[in-house]
Amino acid sequence: MSRLRELIGKPGPWVMAVLNVTPDSFSDGGHWSDVEGAVERGRELAEAGAAIIDVGGESSRPGAQPVSTRDELERVLPVVERLVADGHRVSVDTCKPEVAKASLDAGAVIVNDITGLSDEMLEVLAQYRAIGVCMHMQGEPRTMQVDPHYEDVVGEVRDYLEGRLRRANRFGVEVIVDPGIGFGKSLEHNLELLRRLDTLKALGAPVLVGVSRKSFLGRLTGREIEGRLAGTLACNAWALAAGADILRVHDIAEHRDLLSVFGALSESRRTGPRESARSGRGLAPVLVIEIENIEVQAHIGVPQSERVRAQPVRIGLVAEVARSRNVEDRLDETVDYAAVVELVRAVATERPRQLLETLAQDITSALEQRFALDNVEVRAGKPAIERQLRVGRLEVRRSSALD
C-alpha cells in the first residue's frame, strides 16, 4: 500500500468518487456526458472530500453493451486531462489498455479494471508505475447477472484475486483488490462477501468496496436508486470495520462524514485502555504476542537480480493486544495468530521491494489496520546474510502485562 499512500498523501481509508461520462450507467448515466459538465462535477466531488475521482466512459451495468476504444477515449480523455490539470488524483475506469495508456499519459494514477488486469494491462501499469484495481467478475456485463453460481463464493473470489496478485507481482505492479459486489453475484453472494471481507483483507493488498446504490440494496430495502443512500452507508460502515481501504461511492459528503466518525471511534477504541489508566481507574492489562521465524519467499534486494528471483526471508514481530479490565483468558480479546501469519506472508509476497525496512514498514501498517494491535514491531532478515537468526519452526509466545 506504500505507493497508494504516497500518491494520496494522507492515511486511509479513502473515498473514491464515481464520475461516469456515459449515457447509460445505472445510476447517473447521461448526467455528466458533456466535458464541461463532467469536469465541473469532478471538481465538486473533490471539494466534497473525494481523495480519488474515478472517471469511466463505458457502462458496466448488467446488460450493458460494449463501446469502441475511440468512443471511450473521446468521452474520458478530455475529462481526465482537465481534472489532472486542476491537481486532482484521477483513476480511469476501463478494461482497455489503449484507454489506460492514454489516460496515464494525461496524468491519471490508477486504472480500475473490472476484468481483472490482463497481462497487457499489467505491462501498461508497470510502464507508468501506476496502481491497478483488480476486480472479480463472473462472466461479462451483458450476462453476468444471469443465474450466477458458486460452490464457495468467498473462497473462489479470494483464490481468483490471490492469483491475479501473484501475476501482478511479476510485473512489479501494486494492486488494489475489489470483490466485485454486484458483478456476477446474487443477493446472498454479495452479503456473504461483505460478511467475510476480512478473508480478502488477509491477502495483504488494499481492498476497494463498491456497493454504492446497487440493486441488491434495492432488494433489501425496497428503495429505488435515489433512495439507497442509507443502505449504502450501512454496508460501507460494515466494510470499514472489516478493514476496507477505499469506498467507491456516488455520495461523497455523506461518506466523508462516515469516515470522520468511524475514524474517531476507531481511535477511541485504540486509546481507550490507556485513557482509562490516566483517568485513575487503574491500569489496563495488555496481551503481548511474539511470533518468530515466519518463513516466506520474497522478492527483495537493491540489485535488480535479487528482486527478480524469490529469496528466503524470515520475519518476526512483537505486538500488544489491548484488553478490558477482565484479566481472564478470553478468546474474544486476543487475535487469530494464524490470520496474523497469513497477512504477514501475503504482504511479504505482494510485490518486489528494494529494502527489508520497507517490507517491515508495510507489514506493520497492514497489521495495525487489520487487527487491534498496538506498538507493533516487525523484524525481517535474509538467512543467507543474517546467520545470527536462529533457524527453527514458527514460534508464538504470549504474556500478560500491565500497560
**Three cell numbers written together for 129:** 508505475
| Contact predicate 33/23, CB 8 Å | yes
DSSP 6-66: HHH-S-S-EEEEEEE-SS--TTTTTTT-SHHHHHHHHHHHHHHT-SEEEEESS--STTPPP
CB atoms < 10 A from the CB of 5, how many? 16
| Catalytic residue (one of 41, 82, 89, 248) | 248
Query: Would you call the peptide bond into 13 cis, given omega within 30 degrees of 0 as the criterion?
Result: yes
Q: Which three cell numbers stand for residue 381?
A: 532478515
Nearest CA to 179 among 86, 241, 248, 267?
248
Dihedral over Cα of 2, 111, 20, 138: its sign = negative
Phi, psi for residue 58 in degrees, rounded to 5: -140, 125
Size of the chain, expressed as the number of residues it contains: 403
Cell numbers describing residue 59: 457502462
Could you tell me if 213 and 206 are in contact, meaning their C-beta atoms sit under 8 angstroms apart? no
Clarify whether 10 is annotated catalytic: no
Decide if 76 contacts 57 (C-beta within 8 A): yes
Q: Active site includes 185?
A: no
Name the catalytic one among 185, 214, 351, 370. Answer: 214
Catalytic residue positions, numbered: 214, 248
